[in-house]
Amino acid sequence: MFVIAAPGQGSQKPGFLEPWLVHEEHRATLESFSQAVGIDLVLHGTRSDEATIRDTAVAQPLIVAAGLLTGRALLAGLPAGTPLAFAGHSVGEFTAAALSGVLSDEEALKLVAARGAAMAVASALTPSGMAAVLGADPEELPSELEARGLSAANFNGGGQIVVAGSREALSEFAANPPVGTRVIPLQVAGAFHTAFMETALHAVSDAASELAPKDPHQALYTNRDGSVLTSGRDALASLVSQVTQPVRWDACMGSFEKDGIQGMMELAPGGALVGLAKRGLKGVNTLALNTPEDIPRAREMVVS
């Protein structure tokens, strides 16, 4: 089995979709996605600067659109009958849900656009943010974070945990990190996957209530606990609840290992999840798809 993994917010870089949009069929796809969400994703994927595409309301639909575009191209390029599973980190789970058949591409994009807009509003209510902690004990860190008014937002595996909270608490934490750890501030707008996003949770729940999800046609791993979802309704509920719940990518990788995956292909903008897999999934073949030229390499991985 091969996992197609979709990255989350923070993976985008200025101009990252340019190699794809020289192909007219990919440009047409992204233009249709732009019309669906009322955002110029072609502009943001090619010419917009770093500050613009860091905006939560832009970044989230842009990343999911990129994942869907490259994911559909990948699926078309793989041999028929390739055993596949899908997973996504944070907002990438919307990509995975669409590629596995739970939502249509347009439904996923509209829902994530509502999520991005709502999380941008929630982020503006209180100055908050996130920081990566390297070298922390995942069993001991949460209690220390609670004492400092912070929360664990992403358990990424490979020795990395992302913490979130108020800007003031994060600054104090970075100045006095736990012994043996390194703290790296992240360029994000707010404390995602924590109670700071409570207002966004209600907005996403309202938007999701209008959808009729289908059961996934292939294995779909959830950020909630790394389990495989077989119900479309459960998958949609997971997309909603993750707004305020921590991302357990470590649990996803643990399930990949337990299930004996043969390889992992990360959709554009790829690299972050491949890096985690190289540290946490020893011996598993990985590939980041960042240009159309990477698709033949993915096919070779599958048939070799």
pLDDT tens series, the chain, 304 aa: 999 999 999 899 999 999 999 999 999 999 999 999 999 999 999 999 999 999 999 999 999 999 999 999 999 999 999 999 999 999 999 999 999 999 999 999 999 999 999 999 999 999 999 999 999 988 889 899 999 999 999 999 988 999 999 999 999 999 999 999 999 999 888 999 999 999 999 999 999 999 999 999 999 999 999 999 999 999 999 999 999 999 999 999 999 999 999 999 999 999 999 999 998 998 899 999 999 999 999 999 999 8
Distance between CA 35 and CA 237 in Å, rounded? 26
- What confidence score (pLDDT) does residue 294 get? 97
- What confidence score (pLDDT) does residue 196 get? 97
Q: Domain containing 289: what range?
A: 2-124+193-303
Burial class (CB in 10 A: 0-12, 13-18, 19+), 118: buried
Distance between CA 56 and CA 65 in Å, rounded? 14
**Residue 239: which CATH number?**
3.40.366.10
* Partner residues linked to 285 by β-bridges: 263
Claim to verify: residue 13 and residue 119 sit in the same structural domain = yes
Claim to verify: residue 93 and residue 210 sit in the same structural domain = yes
Claim to verify: residue 162 and residue 291 sit in the same structural domain = no
The tokens describing 17, both together, are 């979709």
Crossing angle for the helix pair 56-77 and 92-99, to the nearest 10 degrees: 30
Which residues belong to the active site? 90, 193
Claim to verify: residue 205 and residue 242 sit in the same structural domain = yes
User: How far separated are the first and last CA of the chain, in Å rounded?
Assistant: 13
The phi, psi pair for 152, rounded to 5°, reads -80, 120
The tokens describing 124, both together, are 């503006």
pTM to 2 decimal places = 0.96
Claim to verify: residue 85 and residue 216 sit in the same structural domain = yes
Q: Name every residue whose Cβ is closer than 8 Å to that of residue 106 and which is 6 or more positions away in sequence.
A: 33, 36
Buried b / exposed e along 162-201 (16+ C-beta atoms within 10 A): bbbbbeebbeebeeebbeebebeebebbbbbbbebbeebb
Claim to verify: residue 145 and residue 115 sit in the same structural domain = no
In Å, how far from its chain's centre is CA 175? 29
**Residue 167: which CATH number?**
3.30.70.250
Claim to verify: residue 250 and residue 109 sit in the same structural domain = yes
The tokens describing 117, both together, are 């807009």
